[in-house]
């Protein structure tokens, strides 16, 4: 599961609101773990990084003008894509106009 959100969607939260959101994330991931479905808790990603482009060009990024950014990921164990999608329901990112991209791992 890849978590995407608007680039500045949570930037205006108070400290108290941030704590409440973090608890929702903890509770949601803990529920998946309690079901024996969490394979890797993944991680939150820093907003900034580097982008490698063809020809070896390296730039700072992703850029502020992007509308959506990748915020983090987890890896779950599911029978199929439908079960993984069911596990994604209740993800706190959805409360902030974000989305959960559900993909299978190859290999």
SS3 assignment for the chain:
CEEEEECCCCCCCCHHHHHHHHHHHHHHHHHHHHCCCEEEEEEECCCCEEEEEHHHEEEEECCCCCCEEEEEEEEECCCCHHHHHHHHCCCHHHHHCCEEECCCCCC
Domain range for 94 is 2-101
Does 71 fall in a domain? Answer: yes
Does 24 fall in a domain? Answer: yes
Does 7 fall in a domain? Answer: yes
pLDDT value at 6 more than 80? no
pLDDT value at 86 more than 80? yes
- Report which listed range, 10-14, 40-44, 67-71, 88-92, is most confident: 88-92
Does 62 fall in a domain? Answer: yes
Does 72 fall in a domain? Answer: yes
Does 91 fall in a domain? Answer: yes
Please tell me the total count of domains within the chain. Answer: 1
Tell if the pTM clears 0.85, that is, is over it: no
Does 9 fall in a domain? Answer: yes
Does 106 fall in a domain? Answer: no
The per-residue pLDDT of the chain, averaged, comes to 87
Predicted confidence (pLDDT) per residue in 44-64, tens digit: 888 778 888 889 888 887 665
CATH of the domain at 6: 3.30.70.1060
């Amino acid at each position: 599961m890849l978590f995407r959100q608007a680039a500045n969607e949570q930037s205006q939260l108070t400290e108290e609101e941030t704590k409440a959101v973090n608890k929702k994330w903890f509770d949601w991931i803990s529920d998946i773990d309690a079901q024996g479905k969490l394979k890797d808790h993944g991680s939150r990603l820093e907003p900034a990084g580097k982008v490698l482009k063809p020809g070896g060009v390296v730039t700072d990024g992703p850029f502020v003008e992007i509308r959506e950014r990748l915020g983090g990921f987890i890896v779950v164990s599911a029978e199929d894509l439908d079960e993984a999608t069911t596990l994604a329901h209740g993800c706190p990112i959805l409360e902030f106009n974000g989305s959960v991209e559900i993909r299978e791992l190859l290999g």
